[in-house]
Amino acid sequence: MFRTSLLVSALALSVALSSGCEQSKSSNPLSPSIAGPIAGVNISAPKPLQPVGSAQIAVDQQPITLVVENAATNGVRPVSYMFEIATDAGFSTKVYSQGGIKAGDGQTKLTLQQSLTAERTYYWHAKGDDGANSSEFSASGDFRVYTPVIIQPPALKDPAEGATLSTNKPTLVINNSSRSGPAGSIQYLFEVATDPTMGSKVVSTMVDEGGGQTSYSVPDALSYSTKYFWRAKAFDPGHESNYSNIQSFVTVAAPVIVTPPSPGPSPGPSPGPSPAPGPAAAADQINMSQAAILNSPQSLPSWTISAGISRVDLTQNGIHIEVSPDRLNGPNRWPEASFGVQYTLGMCLFINSKWYCSAVVQFWTGLPAAGGPPSEYAQNWFYDAGRWAPMTGHQPAPGEQIGIFACMGDCRNNTTGDLSPLKERTNVVLVKFPGNGGGSFNF
């Protein structure tokens, strides 16, 4: 009886002790076995610190770090954090989620383990959790990952460094800039200066980008035999490159202009229908032997200059010349055909650093001025590219020097000179084109 009583007492004690241990364990707030909220414990939502305010993050600045101000809690359990990133403000399309982030000192940071796709806006939030209790999600922050627009300087192509040009109206050529990101329409700034620091600019102009290369033809003639420096840079509506390197070039030398000597005495009459030429009244005012002769006798530069032009009239009716000695009407005139002395009026044009000459307007004595008014030289003189390119369609600008000459006989469409009874001509004189009003020049 006594033994039974002892056994019952021991069993009761064991049950009591066991019950006391379970009660103590379940009331421990740090126990990991607590599955639900602990009454009276509140955790505030963390506060997003960065990135916020629609931050812009360059794609090459990844991986991104998210930072929150730690949540406040009145519980004793440590708080960890969960971060979520989505492509929509409602977080229905999550692209990143990570929990169990240990709290930092006052702030908690998460550096993503992957890079996010560029050209897209992202939303993120976070919440705190102590294993039994959790906060609400924080307010959401947003940021955009973008590919930055980077425009490299263009590369100067032509003229090459130190080149001596055959023109004083150069065409500048660059290789287009490489660029990254969503660049807009590109334009290039071309600059030309007379000094290597680009302080004394003579050209500064914007040009729309071409395909692969972009060029700019300088419209106004630069000074002859002068060293210039040039560079370029690229722009889109919100970005610009650095300047290219600076290169130099030298413009063409001025065309050779021979100053005519003083005229000698007029020769006396010579008997016979084909008088021997007297001394030339003047020399060519250009080096005709260096000119390209188009659609006229190729030997024209070497023909005897048996008369010098003494007057040129550029009128609304055409061009009229007077020569000395008077080979047109004087006693020593060139041989006559049935209708008078035949000759061909010619013009020389300086194009792309080279003289081009051609005799194109047929005359004979007694005819009025011909060749059309100054405003129509481009259409009346060298209208056929097959015969006269590059003179075709060239309309002289006011102040531009043009050459005037005449050759004996029919020199038009005649490259051998066989239609000229005498291979003689006048000298070439230079006149400054006066514009459409015309003008007169004495020599």
User: What gap in Å lies between CA 228 and CA 202, rounded to an integer?
Assistant: 9
User: What gap in Å lies between CA 161 and CA 431, rounded to an integer?
Assistant: 36
Contact call for residues 157 and 150 (beta carbons, < 8 A): no
**157: enclosing H helix or E strand:** strand 155-158
Identify the pLDDT of residue 7.
Answer: 40
Identify the pLDDT of residue 426.
Answer: 94
Can you list the domains of the chain with their CATH numbers? 47-146 (2.60.40.10), 150-250 (2.60.40.10), 288-442 (no CATH)
User: What gap in Å lies between CA 83 and CA 105, rounded to an integer?
Assistant: 17
Contact call for residues 332 and 278 (beta carbons, < 8 A): yes
Identify the pLDDT of residue 267.
Answer: 40
- Which positions of the chain have pLDDT values less than 70? 1-35, 255-281, 338, 368-370
Residues 318-347 have pLDDT tens digits of 888 889 888 888 888 888 876 788 889 999
Contact call for residues 270 and 333 (beta carbons, < 8 A): no
Global pTM?
0.42
Q: What is the mean pLDDT of the chain?
A: 85
Identify the pLDDT of residue 353.
Answer: 85
Residues 112-163 have pLDDT tens digits of 999 999 999 999 999 999 988 999 999 999 999 998 899 999 999 999 999 9
Identify the pLDDT of residue 277.
Answer: 41
Read off φ and ψ for residue 79, nearest 5 degrees: -100, 130
Identify the pLDDT of residue 20.
Answer: 45
If we measure between CA atoms, which residue out of 65, 46, 72, 54 comes closest to residue 139? 46
Identify the pLDDT of residue 16.
Answer: 43
- CA dist 85 to 106, 111, 301, Å? 22, 12, 85
Contact call for residues 364 and 337 (beta carbons, < 8 A): yes
Identify the pLDDT of residue 261.
Answer: 44
User: What gap in Å lies between CA 260 and CA 429, rounded to an integer?
Assistant: 9
